[in-house]
Amino acid sequence: MKGKILISTGGSGGHVIPAITIHDHLKENYNILISTDVRGLKYLDDKSYETVVIDTPKLNNFILFPLSILKVFLLILRSLIILKKEKIQILISTGGYMSLPLCIAAWILNIKIYLLEPNMVIGRANKFFLKFCKKIICYSENIISFPKKYKNKLNIINPIIRENQKKIIIINLL
């Protein structure tokens, strides 16, 4: 029986394309569900990928902040239900604010969390979830603003590229 992974990604191509690539590398060994916000659906063919929409609001609008916090709380509850119902064993997050509800829910349920940080500066969401993740997958060990106390969680890999260009094995990290 294959294990079950949920890949959490945002709506930009910079988040979705790595999520698709990870999906394609792992699909032979795992059942995979991809979570995105509504923007990310345009990158995902619903015939090739099993998706769920978690449309997390940005928390930067002072006037709408109370409503946004309420929506995030409700999305955490929805994420808890999804993770339990789907029997998710591993959450891989490509970072971004949209990963907040799923990462919190995975932490509550004691599901293994793996973070992907493809940039040279660690993002705020990934930095926040470092203490809860099992590993953070990066392309360099020289990540700007990376806390030294979490260096043991760093896993350096070659950049993730599409299957038709060069195959990498990410499965050994899980």
| Two structure tokens written together for 152 | 């043991």
Mean pLDDT of the chain: 87
Question: Is 70 exceeded by the pLDDT of residue 164?
Answer: no
Q: How many whole angstroms separate alpha carbon 43 and alpha carbon 111?
A: 27
Q: Is residue 99's pLDDT more than 60?
A: yes
Least confident of 18-22, 23-27, 142-146, 166-170: 166-170
Residue 174: band (very low, low, confident or very high) from pLDDT cuts 50, 70, 90: low
Q: What is the CATH number of the domain that holds 33?
A: 3.40.50.2000
pLDDT at 166: 46
CA atoms within 13 A on the CB side of 34: 30
Band of pLDDT at residue 173, cut at 50, 70 and 90: low
Q: What pLDDT score does 68 carry? A: 86
State the total domains in the chain: 1
Q: How far apart are CA 41 and CA 58, in angstroms?
A: 18
Other Cβ atoms closer than 10 A to 10: 24
pLDDT over 90 at 161, yes or no: no
Token output for 149: 């106390």
**Which structural domain range is residue 24 located in?**
3-173
Tell me how far apart the alpha carbons of residues 20 and 9 are, in angstroms, rounded to a whole number. 9
Residue 165: pLDDT over 50: no
